[in-house]
Amino acid sequence: MPESADTTASALQGRPWLHAYAAGVPHDIDPVDETLVALLENAVSRYGSKTALEFFGAETSYAELGEQVSRAANALRKLGVEKGDRVALVLPNCPQHVVAFYAALRIGAIVVEHNPTYTARELRHQFEVHEAVVAIVWDKVADLVAEFPKDVAPSAIVSVRMTDALPWGKRLALRLPVPAVRERRDAMTEKPTAKGIIRWDQFAAARRLPRKWPAPALDDTALLQLTSGTTGVPKAAILSHRNLRSNAAQGRAWVPGLREGEETFYAVLPMFHAYGLTLCLTFAVSIGARIVLFPKFDVDLVVGALKKSPPTFLPGVPPIYDALSRASSRKDVDLSSIRFAISGAMR
């Protein structure tokens, strides 16, 4: 016979799962009292001179990140974005993604994350649901979004050329008339042809947002996270600043040995997924970590980054760990810098 509700409740009162907690992990955490906007501002204040983002060797400090977020927030405001409006992000992992995420939150807008590899039909359905006012998109999909019907298309599209975030030398190298280089360049960027699309460099050149601009409240909606588990059409889960900040606090509590301002996170998980967003967009920032961004998981890219910035924290899924383990054996790669790893998101 199935257990009664009373029996189940009685068993849960003993919280048997606590026996599986590692040493040092608290059984409870204090309620959070800061929004994601405050989370970033605190990181900028505490870790301003430390590197926040690294992208193919190009570095952005926390102070620079705060400056860029302020300018992008003001740019969104000038495009007519108001508190509660949706801002769609259709981007791989890149510095502009991080800036756009926190910029939208700063003015009280709601972020909607999308997989940039989705088809036009898949993206159109999602835009029909959330009715974003502005979309900040990878330049390879800018024309696709621009072709949506007028009643679905956002009022403004900002196109991100990912190669603009590369170090100057690598940007020059991508201009070489070599087939292998051309293939690499074409994988990262494509010039939009639709009229009216705003370039990210123009968008990001706005003045800083006025310091006294109203910030969102803890229980304001921060994110519409499109999720379908492993089946079905994606649905939008409504997540508040409190929800997401609590997730970051839970992550911090689960790994008690982390050193604030000293860790290096490898963002190989896509930040448009809840797992990658929580670990690499909020949790990492909350402890002032260096976030090494990868547009997608590529074992050769990861191995190539190991010498310059050895990771200390690697969130991933089983195939990622398997690929890195095989590469370390085949290429004599040292993975000993990784002190912590969290795995999940797959059955």
| Residue 112: closest CA among 215, 231, 234, 201 | 234
Cα 106 to the chain's mean position, in Å?
Answer: 15
Q: State residue 193's pLDDT score.
A: 80
Q: What is the DSSP string of 119-178?
A: -HHHHHHHHHHH--SEEEEETTTHHHHHTS-TTTS-SEEEEE-GGGGS-HHHHHHTTS--
Flag whether 234 is in a domain. yes
**pLDDT for the residue numbered 1:** 42
- Look at residues 33, 32, 43, 34 and name the one whose alpha carbon lies nearest to residue 69: 43
Contact by Cβ (8 Å): 161, 140: no
Inside any domain, residue 136: yes
Dist CA 43 CA 30 (whole Å): 19
**Torsion over CA: 343, 344, 346, 347 (sign):** positive
- Amino acid 165: pLDDT: 81
Strand order through the sheet with 134-138 = 198-199, 156-160, 134-138, 86-90, 110-114, 221-227, 235-240
Give the residue numbers spanning the domain of 93: 27-343
CATH at 76: 3.40.50.12780
150 to 110, 124, 146, 157, 198: CA distances (angstroms): 21, 11, 9, 13, 17
* Region label for 248, one of left (φ > 0), alpha (ψ between -120 and 50) or beta (otherwise): alpha
In a domain? residue 282: yes
pTM for the full predicted model: 0.91
pLDDT at 346: 59
> d(Cα 174, Cα 59) in Å, to the nearest integer?
19
C-alpha to C-alpha distance for 335 and 303, rounded to whole angstroms = 9
Round to whole Å and give the CA distance between 322 and 292. Answer: 20
Q: Is residue 188 one of the residues assigned to a domain?
A: yes
Taking the chain (347 residues) in consecutive chunks of 10 residues, what is each chunk's mean pLDDT?
58 82 90 97 98 96 99 98 98 98 99 95 93 96 94 96 78 55 62 90 97 96 85 86 96 90 97 94 97 94 91 95 89 89 76
Does some domain include residue 14? no
221-227 and 235-240 as β-strands: parallel, antiparallel, unpaired?
A: antiparallel
pLDDT for position 173: 56
Domain total of the chain: 1
**249 found inside a domain:** yes
In a domain, 292, yes or no: yes
Dihedral (C-alpha) 204, 208, 209, 215: value to the nearest 10 degrees?
90
Report yes or no on 94 lying in a domain.
Answer: yes
**Helix (H/G/I), strand (E/B), else coil: 314:** strand
**Which residue matches tokens 């050329």?**
161
